[in-house]
Amino acid sequence: MPQNKQIHLDSRPQGEAKASNFKLVISETPALQPGQVLVRHHFLSLDPYMRGRMNDAKSYAQPQALGQTMGGGTVGEVVESKHARFAVGDKVVGMGGWQQFSVVDADQPGALRKVDTTHIPLSAYLGAVGMPGVTAWYGLVKIIEPKVGQTMIVSAATGAVGSAFAALSKARGCRTVGIAGGPEKCRYALDELGFDACIDYKLHADAQSLSKALKEACPQGVDGYFENVGGMVLDAVLSRMNAFGRIAVCGMIAGYDGAPLPLTYPALILMNRLKVEGFIVSEHMEVWPEALTELGTLVATGKLRARESIAQGLEAAPEAFLGLLKGRNFGKQLVSLL
């Protein structure tokens, strides 16, 4: 069995996460037991939710254990199998974590899924045709419930979730507006992702200034908002929501270092009779087949052309992850383990 490089969580962050919180470890891969599969990972997914799991605090997910391999989504290839349903060479997606190889109990529900790479690149199953894409789908379709002609906004618009949100929203006949950081990301949102408008939040010092820009981009107000950021951005969007608007709360990346994010004008929720609903996509596995079918079609037909930022080698994962938290990535952040 091959030697296996892994990255463990070595210490919990005090405030901002640092590369020193992680540790590279080399371990022996255990021999397979009946029903197990050995997967060589090709790509590792880096996602903002991982920052929350680094803290030892009450949350929707168990904290990442110290001295253990960081958890995370992976795609790769079966290189040895003691399970009848999986053969050597099968391309698979799972939660193998920050390591080169994983030994998977393939009978566990949802532990490993075969994927078809004929028309969809393997890496896309960690982005547009994976958890981020389904996250966008659930928030839009099940919480926001868009109608033709309505105005939708998504923050972190050029990330993996925002990219998928744009394609899904446009497919439903909605005016779709993004909020992103920097002119290059806004150009990408307009030219490649198909947004009708994109606002560079870095040009605005406060929620009042950002709200004015939103008024120009959304002359009919805002009917649906997909929230990834929080803080000033949420304050600004709240001020532009139409009556009976819907807000799907997916992430609060502005507060991932632990500082509270106060809401300036919560009375707007009552005044505009808004629906505000937080969700965790892994709690809604029943929608995944429908969502993945639509997302796969959008990617295969070129209607969803999501970019990927790819760091090379497992050792690059910590710095790539810290860059993701600061918005340095373009589209889905991956680590190539090939």
Q: What value does the mean pLDDT take over residues 25-33? A: 95
pLDDT tens for each residue of 203-226: 999 999 999 999 999 999 999 999
86 vs 72, 92, 95, 130, 321, CA distance in Å? 21, 9, 16, 20, 31
Q: What would the two tokens of residue 167 be?
A: 């394609």
Q: What is the pLDDT of residue 330?
A: 86
| Alpha helices (H) in 3-121, listed in sequence order | 49-53
Q: What is the pLDDT of residue 169?
A: 98
Q: What value does the mean pLDDT take over residues 7-29? A: 95
CA 121 to chain centre: 18
pTM of the model: 0.90
Give the pLDDT band (50/70/90) at residue 65: very high
Q: What is the DSSP string of 125-163?
A: GGTTTSHHHHHHHHIIIIII---TT-EEEEESTTSHHHH
- The letter for the amino acid at 142 is K
Q: What is the pLDDT of residue 317?
A: 98
**Confidence check: pLDDT of 331 > 90:** no
Q: What pairing do the DSSP bridges indicate for beta strands 3-9 and 22-28?
A: antiparallel
Query: Distance between CA 251 and CA 78 in Å, rounded?
Result: 33
- Percentage of the chain modeled with pLDDT above 70: 99
pLDDT tens for each residue of 240-250: 999 999 999 99
DSSP structural state of residue 99: B
- Percentage of the chain modeled with pLDDT above 90: 88
Helix (H) or strand (E) run with residue 122 in it: none
- Burial track 301-311 (b if 16+ CB lie within 10 A, e otherwise): eeebebbbbbb
Burial of 171 (0-12, 13-18, 19+ CB in 10 A): middle
pLDDT tens for each residue of 311-324: 999 999 999 999 99
**Confidence check: pLDDT of 58 > 80:** no
**Confidence check: pLDDT of 255 > 80:** no
Mean pLDDT over the full length of the chain: 95
**Confidence check: pLDDT of 258 > 80:** no
Give the pLDDT band (50/70/90) at residue 306: confident
**Confidence check: pLDDT of 184 > 90:** yes
Give the pLDDT band (50/70/90) at residue 15: confident
Count of beta carbons in the 10 Å neighbourhood of residue 178: 31
The backbone torsions φ and ψ at residue 175, rounded to the nearest 5 degrees and listed phi first, read: -70, 125
**Confidence check: pLDDT of 257 > 80:** no
Q: What is the pLDDT of residue 231?
A: 93
**Do 216 and 247 touch, CB atoms closer than 8 A?**
no
- Burial track 212-232 (b if 16+ CB lie within 10 A, e otherwise): ebbeebbeeebbbbbbbbbbb
Give the pLDDT band (50/70/90) at residue 292: very high
Count of beta carbons in the 10 Å neighbourhood of residue 19: 10
Q: Which residue in this structure is represented by tokens 């050995």?
A: 38
Q: Nearest CA to 6 among 77, 126, 103, 122?
A: 103
**Confidence check: pLDDT of 128 > 90:** yes
Q: What is the pLDDT of residue 132?
A: 94
Q: What pairing do the DSSP bridges indicate for beta strands 101-105 and 74-81?
A: unpaired
Q: What is the pLDDT of residue 320?
A: 97
Helices (H) and strands (E) counted in the chain, each on its own, are 9, 15
Q: What value does the mean pLDDT take over residues 39-51? A: 95
Domains defined for the chain, CATH in brackets: 3-127+306-336 (3.90.180.10), 131-282 (3.40.50.720)
Q: What value does the mean pLDDT take over residues 30-59? A: 92
**Confidence check: pLDDT of 19 > 80:** yes
Q: Nearest CA to 324 among 253, 233, 252, 230?
A: 253
Q: What is the pLDDT of residue 57?
A: 79
| Alpha helices (H) in 131-266, listed in sequence order | 131-138, 160-171, 183-191, 207-217, 232-238
Q: What is the pLDDT of residue 52?
A: 87
pLDDT tens for each residue of 68-123: 999 999 999 999 999 999 999 999 999 999 999 999 999 998 899 999 999 999 99
**Confidence check: pLDDT of 130 > 90:** yes
Calculate ∠ Cα 234-237-238, nearest 5°. 80
Q: What value does the mean pLDDT take over residues 281-298? A: 95
